[in-house]
């Protein structure tokens, strides 16, 4: 299957600071990328969908000014958590979709801890 | 939006036995039905998928069956092995996105 990487795999930051997470599709071009959030022992919740060169579409309840998404190229998307707070601590997972036929591959995830 | 339910939430089976996980969904327009396996601390891994024009698909020990009329699809794992222990998610595709089920924690007892 296709490979998606994420960096960093884990990060600890202080409350009030910003953190950037990178997501790359290594062996394919992804016109659409997704960002998910997963709390312990829970399912994945979609935060936003981004298409290369366009503004991201955020799910209801997700603050677009807090979670900045940039999809600058067909292989790179970034998520920036701005002014992080302890409640933002979570497992963030990116995903990239083949243009057709819908197969979607996930990165290894980034564990964010805000102290 | 899509309402997805997955059963059971936990499942323990003896090594070598079979495991079946069922997923029901609400959106009749859903047309792509993947199953993902997630190990602790890792991202989900696509293990098998099926499209709406097919009733069953098999890949070695793993199979997926789809009943579009009843709006459910199931994951079947035969000859289970310890490395099959993980959390499994169904994620039907509809309205341009995957909607994840609540997950099933599968434990294989040696």
So what's the pLDDT on residue A76?
A: 92
Average pLDDT over residues B69-84: 97
Give the residue from B28, B33, B66 showing the smallest Cα distance to B48: B33
Q: Which residues does chain B have within 8 Å of residue A107's beta carbon, measured at their own beta carbons?
A: 43
With an 8 Å Cβ cutoff, are A46 and B45 in contact? Answer: no
Q: Which residues does chain B have within 8 Å of residue A106's beta carbon, measured at their own beta carbons?
A: 36, 43-46
Question: Confidence class of residue B1 from pLDDT cuts 50, 70 and 90?
Answer: confident
Beta partners for B51?
B32
With an 8 Å Cβ cutoff, are B89 and A44 in contact? Answer: yes
Question: Confidence class of residue B46 from pLDDT cuts 50, 70 and 90?
Answer: very high
Residue with tokens 């090594």, as numbered in its chain: B15
Beta partners for A5?
A24
Q: Which residues does chain B have within 8 Å of residue A109's beta carbon, measured at their own beta carbons?
A: 41-43
Average pLDDT over residues A46-64: 92
pLDDT exceeds cutoff 80 at B105: yes
**Distance between alpha carbon B100 and the CA centroid of its chain, in Å?**
10
Report CA Rg, chain A.
Answer: 13
End-to-end CA distance of chain B: 40
So what's the pLDDT on residue B94?
A: 85
So what's the pLDDT on residue B53?
A: 82
Q: Which chain A residue is nearest to residue B43, measuring alpha carbons? A: A108
pLDDT exceeds cutoff 90 at A51: no
So what's the pLDDT on residue A72?
A: 83
The mean of the pLDDT values for chain B is: 95
Question: Confidence class of residue A101 from pLDDT cuts 50, 70 and 90?
Answer: low
Q: Which residues does chain B have within 8 Å of residue A1's beta carbon, measured at their own beta carbons?
A: 45-46
With an 8 Å Cβ cutoff, are A103 and B34 in contact? Answer: yes
> B1 at the A interface (CB within 8 A)?
no
Q: Which chain A residue is nearest to residue B32, measuring alpha carbons? A: A102
For chain A, percent of residues with pLDDT exceeding 70: 97
Q: Which chain B residue is nearest to residue A34, measuring alpha carbons? A: B97
Q: Which residues contact A110 (CB under 8 A, 6 or more apart)?
A: A6, A7, A8, A9, A10, A11, A21, A91, A92, A93
Which stretch of A42-56, B4-18, B68-82 has the lowest confidence by average pLDDT?
A42-56
Q: Which residues does chain A have within 8 Å of residue B34's beta carbon, measured at their own beta carbons?
A: 103-104
Average pLDDT over residues A43-51: 94
pLDDT exceeds cutoff 80 at A102: no
So what's the pLDDT on residue A15?
A: 97
> B61 at the A interface (CB within 8 A)?
no
CB-count exposure of residue A100 (10 Å: 0-12, 13-18, 19+): exposed
Cis peptide upstream of residue A8 (ω within 30 degrees of 0): yes
> B49 at the A interface (CB within 8 A)?
yes
For chain B, percent of residues with pLDDT exceeding 70: 100
Q: Which chain B residue is nearest to residue A5, measuring alpha carbons? A: B43
Question: Confidence class of residue A100 from pLDDT cuts 50, 70 and 90?
Answer: low
So what's the pLDDT on residue A16?
A: 97
So what's the pLDDT on residue A93?
A: 98
> B36 at the A interface (CB within 8 A)?
yes
Phi/psi at B92 (5° precision): -60, 145
């Amino acid at each position: 299957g296709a490979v998606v990487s994420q960096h960093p795999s884990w990060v600890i930051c202080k409350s009030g600071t910003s953190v950037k997470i990178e997501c790359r599709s290594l062996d394919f071009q992804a016109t659409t990328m997704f960002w998910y959030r997963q709390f312990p022992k829970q399912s994945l919740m979609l935060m936003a969908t981004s298409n290369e060169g366009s503004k991201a579409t955020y799910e209801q309840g997700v603050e677009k000014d807090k979670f900045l998404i940039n999809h600058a190229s067909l292989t790179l998307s970034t998520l920036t958590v701005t002014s992080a707070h302890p409640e933002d601590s979570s497992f963030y997972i990116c995903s990239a979709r083949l243009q057709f036929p819908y197969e979607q591959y996930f990165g290894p995830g980034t564990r964010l801890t805000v102290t | 939006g899509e309402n997805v339910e997955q059963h059971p939430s936990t499942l323990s089976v003896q090594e070598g036995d079979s495991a079946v996980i069922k997923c029901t969904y609400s959106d009749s327009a859903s047309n792509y039905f993947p199953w993902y396996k997630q190990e602790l601390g890792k991202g989900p891994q696509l293990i098998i998928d099926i499209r709406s024009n097919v009733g069953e698909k098999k890949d070695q020990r793993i199979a997926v069956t789809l009943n579009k009329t009843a709006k459910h699809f199931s994951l079947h794992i035969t000859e289970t092995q310890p490395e099959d222990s993980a959390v499994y998610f169904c994620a039907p595709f509809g309205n341009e996105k995957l909607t994840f089920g609540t997950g099933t924690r599968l434990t294989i007892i040696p």
